[in-house]
Structure 1
């Protein structure tokens, strides 16, 4: 595995706020924890406490941002959950705290859902994304760790990430990275359209399960690559584990990353400025889930005419730089496809501002340089 930490470029659009490596910090139930900006820790809520709150230090974003997506890695046993909030600083003034999601591995107790009807003079939240009406220069995040009175387990928070607007792209197709030429990772192929519906209430069933299908493929890849069979989960299990009843679908970006983290993987949502960012990961053996959007005729070879939002796996690149994907909407036998580089990059950058899920075994993903401004 190549060392991506030394010179990997896209540091300005991601802040990693809390990463568990050693030791832990327990809540006392009355105070917000504000660890030093450079600290490395894990937050746990231990009985008999029923709630505790982590609050990050203020993080500046020198280039400014208008959109932000929070994601997290956690363990939430039955009866426990985590609530993530975010606020932004605009011209020296703080916005209100926006609720970015309530997360629990279990759906049955009602603690997993996004929060709708959040809009004010500063911005709005659409499921998993905060969109501000003007540029912000800094942010803070909060994480409330919660447990029901009869819960036996302890929720823990290992990582929070905030992805802001990507910088450095002018929208033109990028050149191929030498290390990614001809690289095609053996990601297992799975079709969302052949998945058996677990429940008609899970966002419309297989036809709408592009995101959990992509997560299932990535988890199966790492299960095989690391001889860790427990990571190989079905599309149905991933759909059940990512469903957001308020959004009424399985496409909540941070919920998909959190689902993988509940199984012991690590990851976050990030935004990149071009395909060269993905190529560095693929060259190191790390496939990526990308979010795209396209109109009719904009993505040659796709099994759909157009899409208002779709997730798929980028598994490699041809010698000329075209994009090799696992297309979850395709039927078996046609899942591995090659999309034209310029067309794919346009569908990805204009469709989601270069949004990706990065999911891998702990410690394998590159850490952003703290000198990047966060």
Structure 2
């Protein structure tokens, strides 16, 4: 797997009273591989990242925010490559209110330095640091977005499934994540391809329902069609924009981030703490025995436990109702996860817990 980096975040927060500096969370150790900052500010912000040891070639930004009706945020990122700064790339325009056209990725961003692939900046050369801007756009009422947290996950190079997964730690108690299938009646306008393409919002719906039951917050239990409607990206024309799915959960009071993990051992530690993990995979024919599809260029599912042999217990949303729970062979799953997405996951949990999971 590629290097994910580690650094201290510094935020410049512009307010009516001027600009002040706020420090982000200090990494716990040199292997802490994600930037994550508690913000709780309604204003436009500029986040500066320190250098990334070993450099990076891809970056994904995710955010936790509350956007009152009609308001939105615009997230931009630039990288320092070959002694110069790239342009500011648009990493997403987000609003909980999708009716106003203020929620979408930005297409056509390709130049000599790199390109944005919906939600991921892919650079042609290794960068050594980055900066992130967040612009706040109030709604007609004047209510401004409340940005609570921002995360940047960087990676040096695709793993291509060649890393060796550590030995399993044995059975890990299976989490009671509700089973939901994406193969349901589509919405009237079949957003993003309808239920057949709703793996990401279905996975988010399952995890939100799990936390709703575990914490006594019924408002976190949102059905699949409502999540799909709330994360739909009309430019991508789909519901699988990674940061948008995390942002949706945050709009409802949960918190989370997108990141990349080097092995299933990291997932085991999270599940052992009671945290289900949404993982992104890609499967070629014959690579994942027992799956409800012969192949997929991109798919998301929920990891909810591990068997004594270390095999992976999942809720696979492509299963028909009643056949969502599956058990996949550890080696096969590790390969389709690492080679398919470089170990990309969504981590979604209550705000007081998320700070301990980065």
Please confirm whether the aligned pair reaches a TM-score higher than 0.5, indicating the same fold: yes
Task: Determine if the alignment matches structure 1 residue 28 to structure 2 residue 21.
Answer: no
Once residues 302 and 350 of structure 1 are traced to their aligned partners in structure 2, the CA distance between those partners, rounded to angstroms, is 17
CA RMSD of aligned residues (A): 2.4
Query: Paired residue for 2:114?
Result: 123
* 1:198 and 1:205 in contact (8 A); partners too: yes
Describe the superposition over 1:336-356 as per-residue Cα deviations: whole angstroms up to 9, x where unpaired: 100010110100001001000
Give 1:17 deviation, angstroms: 4.7
Give ranges in structure 1 of 5+ residues lacking alignment. 1-9, 20-24, 46-52, 370-374
Once residues 216 and 188 of structure 2 are traced to their aligned partners in structure 1, the CA distance between those partners, rounded to angstroms, is 31
Give 1:200 deviation, angstroms: 2.5
Once residues 10 and 352 of structure 2 are traced to their aligned partners in structure 1, the CA distance between those partners, rounded to angstroms, is 13
Task: Determine if the alignment matches structure 1 residue 190 to structure 2 residue 187.
Answer: no
Give 1:90 deviation, angstroms: 1.3
* 2:38 and 2:148 in contact (8 A); partners too: no
1:222-301 pair list within 5 angstroms: 222-301=211-290
Give 1:11 deviation, angstroms: 9.6
Q: What is the TM-score when the length of structure 1 is the normalising length? A: 0.86
Give the number of aligned pairs: 344
Once residues 327 and 8 of structure 2 are traced to their aligned partners in structure 1, the CA distance between those partners, rounded to angstroms, is 33
1:298-309 pair list within 5 angstroms: 298-309=287-298
The 1:87/1:28 distance shift into structure 2, 3 A limit, reads same
The 1:294/1:58 distance shift into structure 2, 3 A limit, reads same
Describe the superposition over 1:181-210 as per-residue Cα deviations: whole angstroms up to 9, x where unpaired: 24211100000002x322324111100000
Once residues 211 and 340 of structure 1 are traced to their aligned partners in structure 2, the CA distance between those partners, rounded to angstroms, is 22
Give the alignment partner of residue 63 of structure 2, picking from 72, 95, 116: 72
Once residues 207 and 14 of structure 1 are traced to their aligned partners in structure 2, the CA distance between those partners, rounded to angstroms, is 37
Q: What is the TM-score when the length of structure 2 is the normalising length? A: 0.90
* 2:48 and 2:131 in contact (8 A); partners too: yes
The 1:95/1:152 distance shift into structure 2, 3 A limit, reads closer
Once residues 322 and 357 of structure 2 are traced to their aligned partners in structure 1, the CA distance between those partners, rounded to angstroms, is 38
Once residues 271 and 255 of structure 1 are traced to their aligned partners in structure 2, the CA distance between those partners, rounded to angstroms, is 16
Query: Paired residue for 1:50?
Result: none
The 1:168/1:212 distance shift into structure 2, 3 A limit, reads closer
Once residues 305 and 32 of structure 1 are traced to their aligned partners in structure 2, the CA distance between those partners, rounded to angstroms, is 54
Query: Paired residue for 2:46?
Result: 55
Give 1:60 deviation, angstroms: 1.2
Once residues 164 and 80 of structure 2 are traced to their aligned partners in structure 1, the CA distance between those partners, rounded to angstroms, is 33
* 3-state SS, counterpart of residue 76 of structure 2: strand
Task: Determine if the alignment matches structure 1 residue 133 to structure 2 residue 124.
Answer: yes
Query: Paired residue for 1:4?
Result: none
Once residues 153 and 240 of structure 1 are traced to their aligned partners in structure 2, the CA distance between those partners, rounded to angstroms, is 23
Give 1:147 deviation, angstroms: 1.4
1:1-374 pair list within 5 angstroms: 12-13=4-5, 17=9, 27-28=15-16, 34-36=21-23, 40-45=38-43, 53-148=44-139, 150-165=140-155, 171-178=162-169, 181-194=171-184, 196-367=185-356
Describe the superposition over 1:90-133 as per-residue Cα deviations: whole angstroms up to 9, x where unpaired: 13311110000000001001100000000110000010000000
The 1:144/1:239 distance shift into structure 2, 3 A limit, reads same
Give ranges in structure 2 of 5+ residues lacking alignment. 26-36
